Amino acid sequence: MSETLLDVQGLTCPLPVLKANKALRSLPAGARLVVLATDPASVKDFRAYAAETGHALVGFSEDKGQFRFTLRKREDPPAQAEPEA
């Protein structure tokens, strides 16, 4: 399984989530993105981000002010068929 590390320590809201979103776009479905952050607001932000986008927040930990989030990119939604005329 593919895993990518994104270090956004020192950045504040909304930059950690914005950078994670950009990184996830370039990853294949099912890939994992590990994000290291120091902004306490990122805890709430990543939970909301996962709920809104469908990416799975599969891991979270905190150690001495460093937050570690593990996101799994959602499967691409199936292409919608064009309506017949």
Cite the active site residues: 13
Question: In this predicted model, what pLDDT tens digit does every residue of 16-28 receive, in sequence order?
Answer: 999 999 999 999 9
Question: In this predicted model, what pLDDT tens digit does every residue of 3-55 receive, in sequence order?
Answer: 999 999 999 999 999 999 999 999 999 999 999 999 999 999 999 999 999 99
Residues whose CB is less than 8 angstroms from the CB of residue 23 and which lie 6 or more positions away in sequence, other chains included: 4, 6, 33
Terminal alpha carbon distance of the chain: 43
Q: Band of the pLDDT at 82, cuts 50, 70, 90?
A: low
pLDDT at 81 over 90: no
Contact (CB, 8 A) for 12 and 45: no
Average pLDDT value for residue range 57-68: 98
